[in-house]
Amino acid sequence: MKKLLISDPTLRDGNHAVKHQLTRDQVAAYAVAANAAGVPIVEVGHGNGLGASSLQVGMSLLADSEMLKAARENLTTSKLGIFLIPGFATINKDLKPALDLGADVVRVASHCTEADTTQKHIGFARERGKEVYGVLMMSHMVPGEVLLQECRKMESYGAEGVILMDSAGASLPVEVSDKIKILVDHLNIAVGYHAHNNLGLAVANSLAAAQAGAVILDGTACGFGAGAGNTPLEVLVAVLEKCGFSTGIDLYKMLDAADVARTKLVERLPTVTSGSLMSGLAGVFSGFSVHVERVAREYKVDYRDILLELGRRKAVAGQEDMIVEIADKLAKKNYDRTPVQ
């Protein structure tokens, strides 16, 4: 059986689903359950990573240090992972303290055409002897050849692997297969995939990635995440084992961990809604959905048209101010569709 490395960002990407309000007890409870299931990497933090807590993208209930300490105390065999986007996170203020608190695995992310921004952070984490990966977000936006160029940069910076992140849940399995195969065929480092479920294809896309040669896959308990959520990890583990892949995760205990997430972390399980579906079709970052629906109500315009315009403009995380601008323009056109109730 081909062995895959599973990384679980339930306590990071999943934080989007509760507006970054995970408590210390919740972090600890899920860390215990994931550790018991043998999850190799448990990623922890604000939904947008280290240093991202802000009015623009959402204030976190806990400081990064509090979340990391709560997880570190309860991860005895699972590695503690962190995620960061240069611009939100700086080396001295955010990355260095996180490493000092015991983070084992570092993922440094950029927009899919901006790998240059990751060089210093990847280099610093590698100098500290950490396991380091590069992440290309919104990977649906450019062809595989462009992704390969950006991944080669991350490889040259010292990344031990690269992960394509389908941040908008906009990809189809055939697209995933083609892009992963290009990377696998031309890189000398590991290739991974991180799916979102806006089109209901997260498990299918993850399986397609594995079959095309990806050796790292992400998933969260119950799909806990923004919009329609991420790849549900308990389902992914079962499907991968059924298809001849080994994850090293105990399925029964992963189901127990999913029960912890279902009962202790979330009030409402992620599902494909009209908003998340439109986000996937438009190719818009899932984390925009809550902001779009709120602004649409305020300006009495249709949130679907805001999403489509965001997609047309190729908006990315950090450009949330664009939502208000678009809504204002729509409202001034004497917009006459039925507003969101």
Would you please indicate which residues are annotated as catalytic (active-site) residues?
16
CB contact at 8 A, 235 and 22: no
Angle at 48 between CA 43 and CA 54, to 5 degrees: 130
First to last CA, the chain: 50
Distance CA 187, CA 131 (A): 18
Strand partners, 204: none
Distance CA 18, CA 1 (A): 37
E-strand ranges in the chain read 2-3, 5-11, 41-44, 79-84, 105-111, 131-137, 161-165, 190-194, 216-218, 245-246
In a 3-state reduction of DSSP, which class is residue 30? helix
Tell me, letter by letter, the H, E, C secondary structure of 55-105: CCCECCCCCHHHHHHHHHCCCCCCEEEEEECECCECHHHHHHHHHHCCCCE
Angle at 276 between CA 236 and CA 232, to 5 degrees: 15
Structure tokens at 134: 């590069």
Helix (H) or strand (E) holding 220: none
Other CB atoms closer than 10 Å to residue 61's CB: what's the count? Answer: 17
- The residues, any chain, with a CB within 8 Å of residue 156's CB and separated by 6 or more, are none
Distance CA 76, CA 104 (A): 12
Other CB atoms closer than 10 Å to residue 265's CB: what's the count? Answer: 23
